[in-house]
Amino acid sequence: MIVQTDLRVADLMTIDPIVVSVDATIEEAEELLRSNRITGLPVVDLVGRLVGVISQTDLLYLAVPSIQALIRHHSSGIRVGEVMSTPPVVIESMATIRDAARLMNDERLHRLVAVDDHGRPVGVIAAMDFVALAAES
């Protein structure tokens, strides 16, 4: 197997990732996930700073019967900010992908978000990127 040397997160990540606003409804988030065929999204606040990540797993949590009862009492719909995973797990774009793999493995996560100096998401590195890497090797 060929191993590539010194690959950085920036080399592998999806740049300018699709993001969702913290006050979007969960239906909007779900639609974004579905139409883009992805399993998670960075969540940003009103000025575009990363505040969390929302994934299918977070949405599925809402399917647990006790939570569903709660949903029915909600008149205006649930917002992304209420169900997202926070704080988000971030990684430096210049970290090696090995560091990213280690972090993903330790935290049992399928994606890490790279942010700029202002805390805005600039990329997402996902477990699927490692699948793609293995496919190319």
Partner 1 sequence: MNVRDVMTREVISVTAETRLRELAGLLSKSQISGVPVVDEAGACIGVISEADLLVKQLSRPVSRRLPLEWILGERHDPEELRRRAATVVGEAMSSPPITIEPDRPLREAASLMIDRRVNRLPVIEDGRLVGILTRADMVEAYLRLDDDISDAIREKVLRKTMWLEPERFEIDVREGVVRISGRVDRRTTAGIVERLIGITDGVVEVHSEIAWELDDTLVHTSEEEHEPGAASVTAREHPQALHR
Give the footprint of partner 1 on this chain (CB under 8 A).
Answer: 1-7, 26-27, 30, 33-34, 37, 39, 56-57, 59-65, 68, 71-72, 74, 77-78, 96-98, 101-102, 104-105, 108, 110, 126-128, 130-135, 137
Shortest distance (Å) from residue 19 CB to partner 1? 19
Please identify, using beta-carbon distances, which residue of 11 and 45 lies nearer to partner 1: 11
Q: Rg of the chain's alpha carbons, rounded to an integer?
A: 16
Minimum distance, C-beta of residue 42 to partner 1, in the bound complex (Å)? 18
Which residues, 6 or more positions from 115, have their beta carbon under 8 angstroms from its beta carbon?
A: 50, 90, 121, 122
Order of strands across the sheet that contains 40-44: 20-21, 40-44, 50-55
Closest CB 3 distance from partner 1, rounded Å:
3
Least distance to partner 1, CB of residue 67, Å: 10
Which of residues 2 and 47 has its CB atom nearest to partner 1 in the complex? 2
DSSP state of 39: S
